[in-house]
Amino acid sequence: MYDWLQGLPDVALPDGWEWTDDWHVDTTSVRAANGWVYAPDTAHLKWPESSDHINTVNYARQRRWIRNRKYTSYDRESLIPLGLLKPGHTLPLPLSGLAHPVISYVLQLRPKYSTDPNEYSWSSVVEKQSQSELSGRAEEPSEICVSALTESDELLYCSQQNGSSSNSFPGLWFCLNIQAKQIGKDVHSDAIQDWNLIIDSPLSITNFLPLSTEYAVIGKQLNGESKTSSQGTLVPGETVKVYSADLRDPLYFSILPQGGWQQIHVYFYTLL
């Protein structure tokens, strides 16, 4: 922690809120490892847009320090716990959450692994085509209102709340597919929909080759830095789901079939 940060006064939170971490550089909003944005001068600094700091001359830069908080106080009627949703299972949403006369309920998920000591935040919806801010949005979070569903595919992000600070991927990504099936009509001849919300990985890889294959998924950030999101070996017919890849970044896929093949180019191979 920098000395000047230690001198900042404590920020008093409203009742029902608590801090979940310490002050840290916001690297998610700009998708740059060091969090800096650049401009020719201070008048042209426009967060989170950044000038190319490699090929242009810049004399000004800035970065943002953030701290996350969470809401801990809920009225009895404002929260409906659904329980633990296991892989491949389903959970019904109670009717009160779908058609409450006063409260509009929103759906959130939080991943939990029995073998993973890390804790993750409740999910937020991320815009697929923009550099959306993923943290510091507790007051106006992106939401999925269960009483006003529309058929769509949503990209969800859950940030890591604790664990090793050296983790290159401090969060998990999910794809939420919202489907509707008409099961009838009401007295006004309006359609009655049966809604299905399917949570899956945003990226999956299946090996249809007749031999085991090494694979790697590499993401390239705006600052030019490349990070391997997932890598391993797939046997024939095996599928791997990737939860650590940010689909807003350019993603590159590399494979290397085993059994005497040698990689001579990122996409081409030769048999020895």
Residue 173 lies in a domain: yes
Q: How far is CA 170 from the centre of its chain?
A: 10
CA distance 168 to 201: 19
The predicted structure's pLDDT at residue 5: 58
Residue 99 lies in a domain: yes
Q: Per the confidence metrics, is the pTM higher than 0.75?
A: no
Query: What are the structure tokens assigned to 265, written together?
Result: 């180019």
Q: Is 175 exposed, middle or buried (0-12, 13-18, 19+ CB in 10 A)?
A: middle
CA distance 79 to 137: 19
pLDDT tens track for 196-252? 999 999 999 999 988 899 999 988 776 777 888 889 999 999 999 999 888 887 888
Q: Among 200, 220, 242, identify where a domain stops.
A: 200
The predicted structure's pLDDT at residue 164: 53
pLDDT tens track for 89-134? 998 888 877 777 667 788 889 888 777 778 888 888 887 654 434 4
Domain total of the chain: 2
- pLDDT category at 71 given cuts 50, 70, 90 is low
Average predicted confidence (pLDDT) for the chain: 78
Same domain, 103 and 157: yes
Query: What are the structure tokens assigned to 204, written together?
Result: 């999956």
The predicted structure's pLDDT at residue 219: 83
70 neighbors 20 (Cβ within 8 angstroms): yes
**Angle, alpha carbons 169-89-142 (nearest 5°):** 50
Residue 19 lies in a domain: no
The predicted structure's pLDDT at residue 270: 43
Residue 211 lies in a domain: yes
Q: Among 200, 226, 241, identify where a domain stops.
A: 200
101 neighbors 142 (Cβ within 8 angstroms): no
- pLDDT category at 8 given cuts 50, 70, 90 is low
Residue 36 lies in a domain: no
DSSP state of 124: E
Same domain, 196 and 96: yes
Same domain, 138 and 225: no
Look at residues 263, 271, 272, 205 and name the one whose alpha carbon lies nearest to residue 235.
Answer: 205
Same domain, 176 and 231: no
Same domain, 141 and 214: no
Please determine, for residue 70, whether its predicted confidence score (pLDDT) is greater than 90. Answer: no
Please determine, for residue 192, whether its predicted confidence score (pLDDT) is greater than 50. Answer: yes
The predicted structure's pLDDT at residue 239: 94
Domain that holds residue 151: 91-200
Same domain, 139 and 240: no
Please determine, for residue 21, whether its predicted confidence score (pLDDT) is greater than 60. Answer: yes
Same domain, 130 and 150: yes
The predicted structure's pLDDT at residue 215: 92
Q: What share of the chain is helix, strand, coil (3-state, %, to 5)?
A: 5, 35, 60
The predicted structure's pLDDT at residue 253: 87
- pLDDT category at 160 given cuts 50, 70, 90 is confident
258 neighbors 214 (Cβ within 8 angstroms): yes
Same domain, 113 and 177: yes
Higher pLDDT: 174 or 6? It is 174
- pLDDT category at 63 given cuts 50, 70, 90 is confident
Same domain, 225 and 161: no
43 neighbors 113 (Cβ within 8 angstroms): no
Same domain, 154 and 130: yes
Same domain, 225 and 156: no
Q: Among 169, 200, 231, identify where a domain stops.
A: 200
Residue 262 lies in a domain: yes
CA distance 150 to 132: 21
In the chain, the DSSP E strands lie at 17-19, 24-25, 37-39, 60-62, 65-66, 69-71, 124-126, 152-159, 171-185, 191-200, 203-206, 213-220, 226-234, 239-242, 251-257, 261-263, 269-271
Look at residues 35, 51, 149 and name the one whose alpha carbon lies nearest to residue 93.
Answer: 149
Residue 147 lies in a domain: yes
Please determine, for residue 263, whether its predicted confidence score (pLDDT) is greater than 70. Answer: no
Residue 11 lies in a domain: no
Which residues, listed in sequence order, are joined to residue 155 by a DSSP beta bridge?
126, 175
* 165 dihedral zone (left: phi>0; alpha: psi -120 to 50; beta): alpha
The predicted structure's pLDDT at residue 4: 55
Same domain, 95 and 190: yes
**pLDDT (average), residues 164-185:** 78
The predicted structure's pLDDT at residue 179: 93
